[in-house]
Structure 1
Amino acid sequence: MATLPFSSTHGLLEQVRQCLQRRLALPVRAWAASQPEAQVWQIGAAVRLLATPAGPGPVPPSPPAADYPPLLVYDHVPQALGAQLRARGTSYADAAGNAWLQHLELLAGAPASEPALAVSSPAWHVQLLRLLFQLVLTPALAASAIPRLAASTQLPVAVVRQLLRSLAAQGFWHPEAPLGVSPLLLPAPARYWLAHYASTLRRRLNGQRYRSRCPTPVADWAQRGLPAECLWSGEAAAHLLLGCPAPPTSLTLYSQLPRPQLVQQLDLVPSPKGAIEILNAFAPATCFAPTDPRCVPPLLVYADLLTSEHPPHQVLAQALHARYLSNLLA
């Protein structure tokens, strides 16, 4: 292993330490080690590693036995070198943000002896489904640092850490995947989300039925402009996504607008048997990367169709699955 000048070594260790701290959203504290040029890094509450600078060239030999597991620190780890290090079970980190750490507990900042957190309450299950929906739609998001993942999903950082541990415990998440590579193990999470959406998350979205105050035909609604933050789902969205010429007979709408404001804008009145169903959006608008800018993603359209006992809706669900979801739900 090439020897770096002390000043370069210290600068590299500090640069990588700060980068790792940002990526994990956990404190990474450093102090001198007995080995020359190395440092002891404590990540979170309990994980301690011997951070040792590694120069360019072939994979260095295994370091001698030390008080702490080794962490090789590089300026940059090319893909081939990273594969060799992972195959050998050697943790590493670099100044470009690439890292591979074999410590599941870093997801929650808890000691390794603590059992993985399971989702034990309906509220936690709702949060899990909210997070999982966005990860399934955008798997690359799973490779993000935890603060960015929390910001994207509008969930607290501590909640995201605990939910990731739950996903790992259920086999949906590969906790030892390199940072920068999606650790989400599809397609099982997508099927899990679909199986639990209607019974857990949808029930908490204040779903209510309405009718138009004026005798406007339902067929005309799917073509009208909607207020910002409003998207079609269910039968109306399926018709738009599949290019069905027949008008829908029912409408499902997701909105982030306050319900009184939306009802007033659309001139609706409550009606238990009304053809218009409105639900609160459960994810940020930026999450709904549109296949069609008027509709929620096909996965959510499909889930809403499955909640209906109307036979034509089941036919639409099958067609939607064939066109958009066969790979995701394989």
Structure 2
Amino acid sequence: MGRNLTDNEKRTLEDCLRNLRSLRGCEAAYIEPGSNPADPDALHLKGPWGELDYLVMTRLRLSTAGAEIAINQIKNGPAPDRSLLVTDYISEDLSRKLRQSGVDYVDAAGNASLQRPPLYVEVSGRKRVERRGRSSRAFQPAGLKLVFLLLRVPQAARWTYRDLAGEAGIALGAVGPILRELEELDYLRNSGGQRLLQSRHDLLLRWELGYGERLQPSLDCQRCRLAAGLKISDLPNLIEQQGMTETVLVGGRLGTCLLLQQGTATGASLHYDGDALRTMLRLQLIPDPNGRIRLMKRFGHADHWQGWRPQSARIADPLLLHAELQLDGADSDDLQQRLFQRYLMPRFAEERIE
């Protein structure tokens, strides 16, 4: 069950299937994905009211940021009106957010919201089911750094452990267990003695969720605002004036607007090398929990865009830009779509590595 699911995710999916079958007159069947690595998981529901299919997105331990990313992924996915979010637990606050966004969901505790005519189901108030299981190393901070490298440079799957560790910025001893888990999840396969990356788009969706929930917070991320008299659009020139073009990457909405040469930069992410306080002083940033600028450490050596850019300030790679736009919610939907179509879709068009 579930080609790209961890053991915990498989158990959660089984619990959710059992909860759906407990609804009066409801039959629920899991549909195995086809041979194409891009084929999604699906559920078939049947009852006195008729029958319908859902495409399934399974994500565990959703935070507010994670829910925002999942909503964006579903809304910008291939079938936003027939997608089902499957998870271990949805709190009351997150359930309201999902319903307001028009996202159907079911959790392992028995909570559910299915709003696809002629099927209407609303179950709430069920408590979390506590379960201990093996944690996924591939989607913890070190694993997410390595997954980013593989998505950014698919040929890196063939590299030595030492090269992977150095380029991703993680401990050498972490590489082997992470790669083995990715193989178990069918994101890597062995062909002629070489590792090959597959199911890249699904891996991207999982990486983006992990970036917002786990990797970005681990990078000492803090919110800031600019000193009076400065605008977010002034940041590229300020970075250049301070001689910081090699140590600071422009990301988030500002980086996307610069790369696409369109849109209004109402927020930004800045990825820095060195000392946080020194960076803040030189760029005139003031800590502010409601600020529109996210400041965080850089990771690895493949985080920057290597193509053309309109200014001397360096821009974060489109993989990072897209993940950071997900955290901005619906306000960035148009930019997300344009960025994906222009810069990410070509990367994921071919599953086979030449």
Unaligned runs of 5+ in 2: 1-132, 350-354
- Following superposition, the deviation at residue 314 of structure 1 comes to 1.6
2:306 alignment counterpart = 290
Contact 1:139–1:182 at 8 Å: present in 2 too?
no
Give 2:198's match in structure 1, choosing from 165, 185, 204. 185
Q: Distance in 1 between matches of 2:232 and 2:163?
A: 41
2:278 alignment counterpart = 261
Report the AA paired with residue 317 of structure 1: Q
Contact 2:169–2:299 at 8 Å: present in 1 too?
no
Contact 1:143–1:183 at 8 Å: present in 2 too?
yes
- Following superposition, the deviation at residue 182 of structure 1 comes to 4.6
- Following superposition, the deviation at residue 217 of structure 1 comes to 2.3
Q: Distance in 2 between matches of 1:150 and 1:254?
A: 20
Q: Does 1:217 align with 2:231?
A: yes
1:320 alignment counterpart = 339
1:297-312 alignment to 2 at 5 Å?
A: 297-309=317-329, 311=331
Show CA shifts across 1:68-107 (max 9, x none).
xxxxxxxxxxxxxxxxxxxxxxxxxxxxxxxxxxxxxxxx
2:155 alignment counterpart = 140
Unaligned runs of 5+ in 1: 1-117
TM-score (norm 2): 0.53
Contact 1:232–1:252 at 8 Å: present in 2 too?
yes
- Following superposition, the deviation at residue 247 of structure 1 comes to 4.3
Give 1:235's match in structure 2, choosing from 230, 249, 253. 253
Show CA shifts across 1:201-244 (max 9, x none).
12222221222234212232244334132111111111111111
Note closer, same or farther for the CA distance 1:289–1:275 as it changes in structure 2 (3 Å cut).
closer
- Following superposition, the deviation at residue 273 of structure 1 comes to 2.3
Contact 1:210–1:277 at 8 Å: present in 2 too?
yes
Report the AA paired with residue 306 of structure 2: P
Q: Distance in 2 between matches of 1:151 and 1:310?
A: 36
- Following superposition, the deviation at residue 263 of structure 1 comes to 0.8
Q: Distance in 2 between matches of 1:241 and 1:166?
A: 34
1:93-104 alignment to 2 at 5 Å?
A: none
2:221 alignment counterpart = 207
- Following superposition, the deviation at residue 145 of structure 1 comes to 1.8
Contact 2:138–2:147 at 8 Å: present in 1 too?
no
Contact 2:138–2:181 at 8 Å: present in 1 too?
no
1:130 partner SS: helix
Q: Distance in 2 between matches of 1:317 and 1:223?
A: 24
Report the AA paired with residue 231 of structure 1: L
Contact 1:253–1:279 at 8 Å: present in 2 too?
yes
2:77 alignment counterpart = none
- Following superposition, the deviation at residue 191 of structure 1 comes to 2.8
Report the AA paired with residue 204 of structure 2: A
1:80-91 alignment to 2 at 5 Å?
A: none
Contact 1:119–1:166 at 8 Å: present in 2 too?
no
Note closer, same or farther for the CA distance 1:161–1:302 as it changes in structure 2 (3 Å cut).
same
Alpha-carbon RMSD: 2.4
Which structure would you say has the larger RCO, counting Cα contacts within 8 Å and 6 or more residues apart?
2
Q: What is the percentage of aligned positions where both structures have the same residue?
A: 25
- Following superposition, the deviation at residue 272 of structure 1 comes to 2.1
1:264 partner SS: helix
- Following superposition, the deviation at residue 170 of structure 1 comes to 0.7
Show CA shifts across 1:10-64 (max 9, x none).
xxxxxxxxxxxxxxxxxxxxxxxxxxxxxxxxxxxxxxxxxxxxxxxxxxxxxxx
Q: Identify the structure with the greater strand proportion.
A: 2
Contact 2:272–2:298 at 8 Å: present in 1 too?
yes
